[in-house]
Structure 1
Amino acid sequence: MKPISMLAVLGALALAHSAAAAPKKAAKADPVAAAIADSHRSDANRKLDENRMPDKVLAFAGFKAGSAVADWGAGGGYYTELLADVVGPKGRVYAINSPAFAKPEVWAAITQAHPNVLSLLAPAQAQVLAPGSLDGIFAHLEYHDLYFVSEKYQHPALDVPAVLKNWFAAVRPGGTVVIIDHVGPAGDPRAVVDKYHRIDPARVRADLEGAGFVFEGSSDVLHRTDDPHDVGVFDPAVRGKTDRFILKFRRP
């Protein structure tokens, strides 16, 4: 056996000591936690956190810094401002809304606090995304409205396959679509949406896969066992406490 060099031993000990003494790199801040803690968020939105569980939802969605994401049917911007923080200043969030549901004062505050947000207003039938412009689409409690028909709210019957064909063209390869919605019974989706404002998750998966997206997985963090699925989502018995599904798809 060859003798072990003392220099080699001392050198190894010195390296080990140096490694042990070296300060540890600071852990990267969690962008989702930072987004939820953002001081610009309204008290009204913060009160929704317990039920909506944005920490778990956004962790599952997995959007990265620098991404361009469309918040489809952004409503009052609850998720828009969270997404804006997650994708960061080099990213972009396009908040898609129908004029009937957008409050100018709310969006003025959001876009002032988040310069990477662009609020886009267009009637439902004119909401078209530019080809190859996005890394993701996020639809929170809005997918069912693709099947919604209402003269009162100026929402005509949409060609759902055409809408999803546009989504597929808009999302770059490798990009994702995340859909959260109220669980509804099986059946004709227009009838189910008209009666309950819900949709069968199996219908959503069939729609997205039919458009060319690949199913990536689901999360049950918003699953509720005490929702019967056959009452409208605005019924006081279930409002804000519905059973909701989360599905994620990838654009190959």
Structure 2
Amino acid sequence: MKTIKLAIALSALLLSPLAVAGDTAQQQAEALQLAVDHQSRSPANVARDKYRNPVATLQFFDVTPASTVVEISPGGGWYSEILAPLLAAHGTYYAAHFPADSTSDYYKRNRAAFVEKLAANPVYNRVQLTEFAPGNSAAIAPAGSADVVLTFRNLHNWYSNGGDDGMVTIFKDFYTALKPGGVLGVVEHRLPADKASGDWQKTGYFPQALAVRLAEQAGFVLEAQSEINANPKDSADHPGGVWTLPPVLRLKEQNKDKYLAIGESDRMTLKFRKPLTQ
């Protein structure tokens, strides 16, 4: 009965002119919460809400039920489970996953699992699957079409493959997809400034100042930053890098209680804007 009520409530809210127009922050927060509470979400993903704070995060990035949103590298679909129902009635959701013609077994395996996920539930019927990988020339969405481009915990992977130049090229691709005035939302494991030396690239953490500098080189303006996804318990100096912490728990049973008590990583949450005038 609860799931039926949630589905009905979400549908009603999405059809409401107030929810679509975004007249108040409260109405937008209600729409986001209903999407987070959607019956299609897996219990394992729901359990991580306390670390990923999806309502506050998406609201900070100006995501509404009428937005055109591109999610970069959606992985297993943690945010897809929220964005697909949220945007189903009045918005558009582009999931820019690994390229279909990739020769990487990892890419192929993860894309296949995501495609299977989309096919398994009608809530994903309107998801538009596009492609993204560093160095791939495919468009993540039509140029100038997106209100919001989102990336969650990906910068460290891209930087390890392409350095400064590769990252700026990636940010420029996001810039191209966005409308003038559109938002680039970045969430990433945060490397403390005093640790930005040595082998930090192997840790999975990323310097916030570097993220800002590279995005600005691509033309973005940093509009705001938030501590929504901060975790002061995370010292960012774990023996197995960020993967020492949940949900990965790379060290398995070794000091498991210690790392569970810390929780998931400390994360920067950055909101960039594409200028209205070029």
Please state which band the TM-score falls in when normalised by the shorter chain: 0.7 to 0.9
Q: Which residue of 1 aligns with 2:115?
A: 107
Q: Which residue of 2 aligns with 1:141?
A: 153
- How much does 1:52 deviate? 1.4
User: Aligned partner of 1:206: which letter?
Assistant: R
- How much does 1:222 deviate? 1.6
CA contact (8 A) 1:189 1:199 kept: no
Partner Cα distance (2:65, 2:198) in 1:
37
CA contact (8 A) 2:182 2:273 kept: yes
- The structure-2 alpha-carbon separation of the partners of 1:249 and 1:122, relative to structure 1 and needing over 3 Å to count, comes to closer
Partner Cα distance (1:190, 1:143) in 2:
18
Partner Cα distance (1:159, 1:54) in 2:
28
Q: Which residue of 1 aligns with 2:73?
A: 73
1:241 paired to 2:264 = yes
Which structure has the larger Rg? 1
The partner residue of 1:124 within 121, 134, 144 is 134
Note the 1:201-240 alignment, pairs <5 A: 201-231=208-238, 232-235=241-244, 236=249, 238=259, 240=263
Please state whether the residue corresponding to 1:228 is helix, strand or coil. coil
- The structure-2 alpha-carbon separation of the partners of 1:247 and 1:114, relative to structure 1 and needing over 3 Å to count, comes to same
Structure 1: gaps spanning 5 or more residues: 1-24, 150-155
Please state whether the residue corresponding to 2:36 is helix, strand or coil. helix
Q: TM-score, normalized by length of structure 2?
A: 0.70
- The structure-2 alpha-carbon separation of the partners of 1:36 and 1:135, relative to structure 1 and needing over 3 Å to count, comes to same
- How much does 1:238 deviate? 4.6
Please state whether the residue corresponding to 2:191 is helix, strand or coil. coil
Give deviations 1:107-158, integer Å, cap 9, x for gaps: 3333532222122345432154342131111111112222023xxxxxx767
Partner Cα distance (1:115, 1:189) in 2:
46
Q: TM-score, normalized by length of structure 1?
A: 0.77
Structure 2: gaps spanning 5 or more residues: 1-17, 20-25, 100-105, 250-257
**Please, which moves more after superposition, 132-141 or 108-117?**
108-117
- How much does 1:39 deviate? 0.6
- How much does 1:71 deviate? 0.7
Q: Which residue of 2 aligns with 1:200?
A: 207
Q: Which residue of 1 aligns with 2:8?
A: none
